[in-house]
Each structure stands twice: as C-alpha cells, then as structure tokens.
Homo-oligomer: A and B are copies of this chain.
Amino acid sequence: MKLSKEKLVEMLRKMLEIRCFEEAIYYVYAQGWMPGLAHLYIGQEAIAVGVCENLKKDDYITSTHRGHGHLIAKGGDLNKMMAEVMGKVTGYCKGKGGSMHIAAPELGIMGANGIVGGSIPIATGLGLSSKLEKDSRVTICFFGEGASNQGAFHEGLNMGSLWKLPIVYVCENNLYAISVSQQRSQNIEDVATRAKAYGIPGEIVDGNDVLAVYEVAQKAINHAREGKGSTLIECKTYRWGGHHVGDPGTAYRPPKEVKLWKDKCPIKGFKFSLIKRKILTQTEIDNIENEIKQRVDKAIEFARKSSYPAPEEALDDIFAK
C-alpha cells in the first residue's frame, strides 16, 4: 500500500499524541488532579489511528471505557478532553461525563461508553441511519475481546449484518478483560471467527502494525461505503498497563508476556520503519514529539485553570429545555 509522506507522518503524529496524552493522564492521576479513574490506551495506538485515518469527519465512531485513543484519532481536541477528564466545565461534556463518556458529535464521536458492549447496538442504529439517509457515512464500532462475550455484541452484529449496514466492527483483542485472559473467557482462538455467525467477513490483523490496520480497515470501510455491509476486524494487541490507572496490572499477567508485547511497541516499530524508509529523520521525530508534549502540557494547564461547573448545573441537561 502506497501512502503519501503526509499521511504517514500524520499517522505517527496521532499515535504519539495518544501515547503522550495517556502518559499525561497517569501523571495527572498521580498528582490527584483527576477525580475517579481512567482506562488507558497505551500499547493499542496503532488500531485507533490505523482505522480512523481512513475516515471522513462526518463518519461516526462509537467508543468504550478505553476511549481516549479513539477520540484523539478521530480528531478530538486535547484541551477539551483533558478538561473533561478533570471534571471541568470546559470539557467536552461540561464535566458531566468524565473519561468514560466523552462525546463530540460535531466530530462524529457519538460517545464513549462505560458499559461493556453497550455501544455495539447503538452503532447498529447509527449505521442504519446512514443506510436510510443514504449519506454514505460509515460507522466504526470499537470494542474489546471481552465485550465480544456480551449479549449486546451478538444482537448488534446480528442486526448490523442482517441489514447490510455500513459498519465496521473493530475488536481490539488485547488478550485481557480486566484480569480474565481471552482463553478463560471464550472457547475460540480468534474473535474474528464470530463473523461467521453473522455471514460477514472476519479479518485478523496485527493490531500493533498501523499500516496493516490501515489496509484492512480501508478495505472494510470501502466495502461498507459501497453498500456491501459490515465487517468484523480483530486486531491482536496488548494493553501495556493495568486495567485502569489505579491497577498495576501485574497480579494476573506474567511479566514476560508484558515485556514481549512492549517489545512489539506499535510506535517504536513504526518510527523505525519511517526512518528506514527515509520518510522522517530521528531529529524530525524528536521535534514532533516535543511539539506534542507541549500541546499536552498546555492541555493540562488549560484543564487545571478551568473551573468546575457550578453545583446547580447538576440539575440541567436531564431533558431538553
């Protein structure tokens, strides 16, 4: 697959942005600047970026509890995200949603979701809207391998496949659902096998290879846009940290396994290949990284300086005015 230099750089940039944002969240959490918890995307950056780089602005995505990466890849604003994570009124949801519920419909981001599998039937509805409106949008539905054991997964994919909806179901198989490994939660090796249950294509891809993800996603997205229906893509990957910022993630995973996957870092590998292919030099990459770090620092500053919503605002937004 031939991609322009701009595209490749943009992909690296987005991956770095996610990585840097998530590392900042760890920091923000440790500093006590953030209420509650957050589920970090570190290690899985190639998936969100590889998929979303194929999308148009008005395409839809639905996200999960582990959603920051999807949002950034779809164009989310770091300031508004960080402010939301900190519960500030300048956040995407005015502080009402927090890390797990960020929505930005103006970017096609139709909501992260705290209920595992909860967004899968919703994605079906978004896909149906595109079919009915003939707006040629595509809906990307992100979820984990753990979610593929939920009833909502089954109902969502059954309806999506039945009606040939323009949806790409992207399963990020990071091998664990909290502490439960994939092989302790399902009797199959590949989640992609489940595509057979719905008569749609099932694809398996190295989720740590952004170009591979891009290619598979492109095919599925085109398929969807051409009215040929849904695809289930399984991206094999790994969650570097614990389940959330407060979980070291060491109690149920062998250190060797963690190390193995860190060695397969999606960013390191991609950087290496871009340098090798002379798309970028190390210095250029360093500059990009510095620029992103500054933007993330600014996002932290923006969020910290923002105020909390006024308490009475808790009574708004239950119903439309």
Give min CB distance, A111 to chain B, whole Å: 20
User: Which residues 143-160 of A sit at the B interface, judged by CB distance below 8 A?
Assistant: 149-155, 158
Q: At the interface, is chain A mostly helix, strand, loop or mixed?
A: helix
Within 8 Å CB of A155, what residues of B? Answer: 149-151, 154
Within 8 Å CB of A151, what residues of B? Answer: 150-152, 154-155
Contacts from A to B (Cβ < 8 Å):
149-155, 158, 161-162, 164, 184-188, 193-194, 196-200
Q: A150-B155, A151-B154 are in contact. List 8 more A-B contacts (CB 8 A).
A: A150-B154, A158-B187, A161-B187, A162-B184, A162-B185, A188-B197, A193-B196, A194-B196
User: Can you give 30 A-B contacts (C-beta < 8 A)?
Assistant: A149-B154, A149-B155, A149-B158, A150-B151, A150-B154, A150-B155, A151-B152, A151-B154, A151-B155, A153-B154, A154-B154, A158-B185, A158-B186, A161-B187, A162-B184, A162-B185, A162-B186, A162-B187, A164-B187, A186-B198, A186-B199, A187-B198, A187-B199, A187-B200, A188-B198, A188-B199, A193-B197, A193-B199, A194-B197, A197-B197
